[in-house]
Each structure stands twice: as structure tokens, then as C-alpha cells.
């Protein structure tokens, strides 16, 4: 299934609730990528409720 894949991109936008299984899906995807030596990239976007406030740690550009 992963033959020929160089990068696996995880881009499922958070909807602001805790009961969705996105973290579990990401965990399983990361494990599969590690098992087959595939680079894993997570795309992180703000919560769409208002799109202005970010309520999580933000990556420091330094």
C-alpha cells in the first residue's frame, strides 16, 4: 500500500471538539510512515470557529 510513497501529509483540520478521532488517526499514520521509512508532515491550521484566535502552542520561527 505504501510502495512508491515518499511523503505522507496529514491535513485534517481540527473542528474544535475533543470527541473526534483525528489524533488517533494521526498516531496510526505516523506509525505506518515510520515503519516504512516515509517522511510524515503535519499541516496545522487555526481552529475555524473564528479563525483569528489560536488556542494552542505556536511554532517559534527561530
Handedness of CA 56, 20, 41, 35 (dihedral sign): positive
Per-residue pLDDT at 46: 65
Of 39 and 46, the structure prediction assigns the larger pLDDT to: 39
Of 2 and 18, the structure prediction assigns the larger pLDDT to: 2
Longest Cα separation, the chain: 40
Q: How confident is the model at residue 19 (pLDDT cuts 50, 70, 90)?
A: low
Percent of the chain topping pLDDT 70: 66
Tens-place pLDDT, residues 21-33: 788 888 999 999 9
Is it the case that residue 14 has pLDDT exceeding 70? no
Amino acid at each position: 500500500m505504501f510502495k512508491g510513497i515518499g511523503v505522507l501529509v496529514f491535513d485534517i483540520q481540527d473542528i474544535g471538539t475533543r470527541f473526534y478521532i483525528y489524533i488517533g488517526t494521526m498516531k496510526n499514520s505516523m506509525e505506518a510512515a515510520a515503519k516504512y521509512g516515509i517522511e510524515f508532515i503535519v499541516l496545522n491550521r487555526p481552529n475555524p470557529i473564528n479563525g483569528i484566535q489560536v488556542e494552542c502552542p505556536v511554532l517559534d520561527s527561530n
